[in-house]
Amino acid sequence: METNDYLKDLKDIKEMMSKSSQTLSLSGLSGILAGLYALGGAWYADYLLTTYDVQDYTNYRMQTPFPIDDLTIQLVGLAALIVFASIVTGIVLSAAKAKKLGETLWNSSSRRLIVNFSIPLTTGGILVLILLSKGYYELIAPMMLLFYGMGCVNASKYTFRDVRYLGITQIILGLMAAFFKDSDLLFWALGFGVCHIVYGAMMYVKYDRN
């Protein structure tokens, strides 16, 4: 009997240590909304390409004499708007969940999560800007997916393990986008749109609904 109690105490201590080292206030609903933002952005990007009568953005940019044109500015602005809206939504909903759980959103675990997520993401963002300035447009969508995926895998040590599988999926889609370069917008929409919605729904059912 004492041995069983001892083992149970060890298990409880292990669970407490695991929870204290992880950020558990990530909101599944924020993932769903981020996915919807991305799908809306992908639709509008496709609309812009159709409006400008562009079948292949890479070839279009190679034929355009100016390094930055109106279409490129709109696409970059659209991407920035999606990122900003997703971040704000994530912070607001995660803060609400943390308050509901009686936790503090900004703690040592969340700081480690942000650092581990930001390093690959910032590196990827800088690389994307370099690729954009050098004219390697066909690599932009794959690089966004790859570095975002690496950020998720890297940050998954400090939050739900499900984030690791989201990251691995993004990496696979990034590699596929690099191989099938004519379908890069489709893979971008699958990665940042569909995957986020599916992941967010699973997280909501698994962790948030109760």
Verdict on whether the full-model pTM lies above 0.85: no
**pLDDT tens track for 126-171:** 999 898 888 787 888 999 999 999 999 998 888 888 889 999 999 9
Interval 4-34: pLDDT, tens:
554 454 444 444 444 444 555 677 888 999 9
The reported pLDDT for the residue numbered 63 is 52
The encoded tokens of residue 152 equal 């998720």
- pLDDT tens readout for residues 83-100: 999 989 988 888 888 787
**Does position 67 have pLDDT exceeding 50, yes or no?**
no
What's the CA gap between 86 and 100, in Å, rounded? 21
